[in-house]
Amino acid sequence: GQNIDQPTEMTATEGAIVQINCTYQTSGFNGLFWYQQHAGEAPTFLSYNVLDGLEEKGRFSSFLSRSKGYSYLLLKELQMKDSASYLCAPTYSGAGSYQLTFGKGTKLSVIP
Amino acid sequence: NAGVMQNPRHLVRRRGQEARLRCSPMKGHSHVYWYRQLPEEGLKFMVYLQKENIIDESGMPKERFSAEFPKEGPSILRIQQVVRGDSAAYFCASSPGRSNEQYFGPGTRLTVT
């Protein structure tokens, strides 16, 4: 498998910053997706990183280190609506490169 | 500009019945992927189809499950003789090409009683 590891649950306060980490297997690694999934809904695309470094997109940023097999999603100015599961999905080159492989996700609870 | 559509959104079947899940990809998308999300688990890839072709079904259980994407009409995921363990959310995604930039539908929640 791709040995995707991310925390199961996190809690943060409205207005704060939270970092959700993800580690994965590096062999054959191509790029990494982050998706947001509200309870009972479809995953929605947040970011896709291929190169090392930080990519910022509004309140959400995503970081990738290819050599370390590590990524994080940074959420700033947290809002109550950010309470959701955040799914890390590395992709790998080869015949099954279209297969998104999801971890179990990190359930984020934003509290007042 | 409709996104990926799935129906039904909720489906209840008794053990031994058949379940048919439908997926209409986004306009202009000819590649469809099915994923299953068991309770408290991550999404798992099941099958990848293009029009009239199954490209990769490596994630599909060998028995009772089948998928198709005909020339006309939606993609169908068919589960015969359902068992309680089939209870899950089944998500369909589509892409314009053989790509991993996939757009997900709202899912079908199957409950087997």
pLDDT digits (tens, 9 = 90+) for B40-93: 788 899 999 999 999 999 999 999 999 999 999 999 999 999 999 999 999 999
A101, two tokens: 């492989």
Counted residue by residue, chain B has a size of: 113
Q: What is the pLDDT of residue A94?
A: 75
Q: What is the pLDDT of residues A51-93, one digit of tens each?
A: 999 999 899 999 999 999 999 999 999 999 999 999 999 988 8
- For residue A107, give the chain B residue with the closest CA: B40
Between A and B, how many residue pairs show a Cβ–Cβ distance under 8 A?
Answer: 58
Q: What is the pLDDT of residues B7-35, one digit of tens each?
A: 999 999 999 999 999 999 999 899 999 99
The residues in B 56-75 lying below 8 A from A, measured between CB atoms, are 56, 58-59
B66, two tokens: 């089948």
∠ CA B100-B105-B108, rounded to 5°: 125
A33 touches chain B (CB under 8 A): yes
B95 touches chain A (CB under 8 A): yes
Check B40 against A104: CB less than 8 A apart: yes
Check B98 against A41: CB less than 8 A apart: no
Q: Rounded to whole angstroms, what are the CA distances from B4 to A36, A64, B77, B81?
A: 17, 29, 15, 27
Query: Residue B100: pLDDT band by 50, 70, 90 thresholds?
Result: low
> Please, is A43 exposed, middle or buried when counting C-beta atoms within 10 Å of its C-beta (0-12, 13-18, 19+)?
buried
Nearest CB neighbour to B100, from listed A41, A98, A105: A98
Ranges assigned E (strand) in B42-85: 43-50, 53-56, 65-68, 75-79
B25 touches chain A (CB under 8 A): no
Torsion, Cα B98 B103 B105 B111, to 10 degrees, reads 70
Check A102 against B56: CB less than 8 A apart: no
A15 touches chain B (CB under 8 A): no
